[in-house]
């Protein structure tokens, strides 16, 4: 084989190798360009807002398809890669977030970590009522309807409290998710917006602000009914001689009457009085039917017959007067040992004294009067609860 042939062959191989390298380089360059331009958006969004839910217990990989569907990010792969590169991604909390369309995947992850983009959660505390409560000489204590309205706002549009009241009053309670054991009592209240009182359990709730008033109430009541069912409330109530609805109702009294640490004692008073039987005579049940409330109730208010006023009716109120916490429900199941039938708050620190007899109780009421705890802010005559058997908290 002559030298010229060898040289020509070597030059040919070199040309082929060089061509392959050029082609591979071009393909890699094109692939990178295509990957960069098609797999991800650039920037922090186009100004159009989308509402995105991060469900409880969901993973980042499960969130990707939703973001793609709403055009927040371009591809699931880009979002998954950005989430894996961000060490804080695991800290993203459940809830609804306002994100912009056409965000880079990295920007979307950062936006989900920014609490300012998160829609507020609804927090229902033990003792919360559906309606607002105006305190005489004080502030307004917002009820659940108002709290829902406040957290339902989306771009300045808020669900009106009146819409929630109308939905509660007019929608079949079974359609709202109320448990079977509560339906008769609810229906007896006619179209009262407060007829579903006590059926929204205390807790934190993620709400979709795009839902209608009826759908939001259905969501809350259904979740609460499931909570009560899982807690075996029917058998728990039966064990202490009450229906599940009566257990909720009595626990709501504990919630509104008892100071912290005294739930089990007030529960014992309730059970002792029901067993006697004697009227409960709780000021909280008087206040529930009033437009404005305070610790001291008037003789006139205590004499008024309402579905809740236990000064004027036997037994429990017709409905709960608040949302009872699990703690209050347990207190009814596990009351303190004692023969008390009376209690009163005797000072402005909230000290509550329990008594077995009415004479003992009257002495404690005198202490309360001297301390000023039963002084009324009302202008009307007859305010105060000097002969009351209990003082609401």
Q: Given this model, what pLDDT does residue 378 score?
A: 54
Which residue, among 157, 354, 325, has the nearest Cα to 265 in the 3D structure?
A: 354
- In-domain check, residue 131: yes
Q: pLDDT tens across 180-236, in order? A: 999 999 999 999 999 999 999 999 898 888 889 999 999 999 999 999 999 999 999
pLDDT at 376 over 70: no
Predicted pLDDT of residue 294: 76
Residues 94 and 57 in one domain: yes
What pLDDT is stored for residue 333 in this prediction?
96
DSSP class of residue 44 equals B
The predicted pLDDT at position 16 comes to 46
| pLDDT for the residue 138 | 76
- Whether 25 shows a pLDDT value over 80: the answer reads no
Query: b/e per residue, 244-254, with b = 16+ CB within 10 A?
Result: bbbbbbbbbbb
| 147/259 same-domain check | yes
- Read off the pTM: 0.77
> What would the 3-class secondary structure string for 189-251 be?
CCCCHHHHCCCCCCEEECCCCCCCHHHHHHHHHHHHHHHHHHCCHHHHHHHCCCCHHHHHHHH
Pairing outcome for strands 292-293 and 133-135: parallel
Instruction: Tell me the mean pLDDT in the region 265-272.
Output: 97
The percent of residues in the chain predicted with pLDDT above 70, rounded, is 85
Per the domain annotation, does 317 fall within a domain?
yes
245-254 average pLDDT score: 98
- Please report the pLDDT score of residue 2 as a whole number: 56
User: In this structure, how many other beta carbons lie within 10 angstroms of the beta carbon of residue 214?
Assistant: 17
What pLDDT was estimated at residue 161? 95
Domain match, 333 and 248 both: yes
Whether residue 35 is predicted with pLDDT greater than 50 in this model: the reply is no
For the chain, the domain total comes to 2
Q: Where are the alpha helices (DSSP H) in the chain?
A: 3-39, 60-69, 76-85, 105-113, 144-151, 161-170, 180-188, 213-230, 233-239, 244-257, 263-275, 283-287, 299-303, 326-333, 358-371
For 135-179, the DSSP string reads ETTS-EE--HHHHHHHHT-BTTB---HHHHHHHHHHS-TTTTT--
C-alpha to C-alpha distance for 332 and 148, rounded to whole angstroms: 29
What pLDDT was estimated at residue 8? 53
- 1 assigned to some structural domain: no
Q: Summarize pLDDT for 293-330 with one digit per residue, the tens.
A: 877 788 899 999 999 999 999 999 999 999 999 999 99
User: Do 256 and 333 fall into the same domain?
Assistant: yes
Q: Does 124 have pLDDT greater than 80?
A: yes
What residues make up the domain containing 73? 49-119
CA triple 286-290-295, angle to 5 deg: 55
Mean pLDDT for the chain overall: 86
Inform me whether the pLDDT recorded for 132 exceeds 60: yes
Does residue 361 lie in a domain region?
no
CA-CA distance, 129 to 106, in Å (whole number)? 43
- Residue 297 belongs to a domain: yes
* pLDDT of amino acid 393: 35
Residues 66 and 139 in one domain: no
134 lies in the same domain as 72: no
How many angstroms separate the CA atoms of 217 and 223, rounded?
Answer: 10
């Amino acid at each position: 084989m002559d030298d010229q042939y060898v040289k020509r062959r070597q030059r040919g191989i070199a040309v082929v190798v060089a061509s392959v390298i050029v082609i591979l380089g071009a393909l890699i360059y094109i692939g990178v360009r295509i990957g960069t331009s098609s797999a991800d958006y650039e920037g922090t969004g186009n100004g159009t807002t989308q509402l995105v839910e991060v469900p409880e217990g969901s993973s980042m990989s499960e969130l990707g398809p939703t973001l793609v569907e709403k055009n927040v990010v371009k591809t699931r792969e880009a979002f998954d890669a950005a989430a894996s590169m961000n060490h804080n991604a695991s800290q993203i909390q459940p809830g609804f977030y306002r994100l912009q369309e056409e965000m880079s995947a990295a920007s979307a992850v950062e936006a989900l970590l920014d609490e300012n983009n998160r829609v507020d959660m609804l927090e229902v505390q033990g003792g919360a009522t559906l309606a607002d409560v105006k305190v005489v000489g004080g502030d307004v204590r917002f009820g659940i309807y108002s709290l829902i309205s406040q957290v339902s706002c989306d771009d300045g549009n808020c669900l009106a409290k009146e819409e929630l009241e109308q939905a509660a009053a007019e929608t079949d309670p079974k359609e709202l998710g109320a448990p079977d054991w509560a339906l008769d009592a609810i229906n007896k209240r006619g179209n009262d917006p407060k007829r579903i009182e006590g059926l929204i359990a205390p807790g934190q709730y993620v709400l979709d602000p795009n839902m209608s008033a009826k759908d939001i109430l259905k969501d809350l009541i259904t979740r609460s009914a499931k909570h009560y069912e899982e807690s075996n409330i029917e058998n728990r109530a039966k064990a202490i001689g009450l229906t599940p609805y009566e257990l909720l109702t009595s626990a709501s009294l504990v919630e509104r009457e008892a100071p912290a640490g005294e739930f089990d004692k007030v529960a014992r008073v309730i059970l002792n009085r029901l067993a006697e039987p004697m009227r409960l005579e709780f000021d909280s049940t008087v206040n529930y039917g009033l437009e404005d409330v305070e610790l001291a109730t008037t003789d006139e208010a205590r004499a008024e017959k309402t579905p809740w006023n236990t000064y004027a009716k036997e037994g429990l109120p017709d409905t709960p007067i608040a949302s009872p916490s699990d703690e209050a429900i347990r207190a009814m199941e596990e009351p303190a040992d004692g023969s008390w039938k009376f209690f009163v708050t005797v000072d402005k620190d909230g000290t509550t004294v329990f008594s077995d007899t009415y004479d003992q109780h009257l002495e404690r009421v005198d202490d309360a009067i001297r301390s000023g705890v039963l002084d009324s802010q009302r202008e009307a005559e007859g305010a105060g609860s000097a002969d009351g058997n209990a003082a609401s908290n």
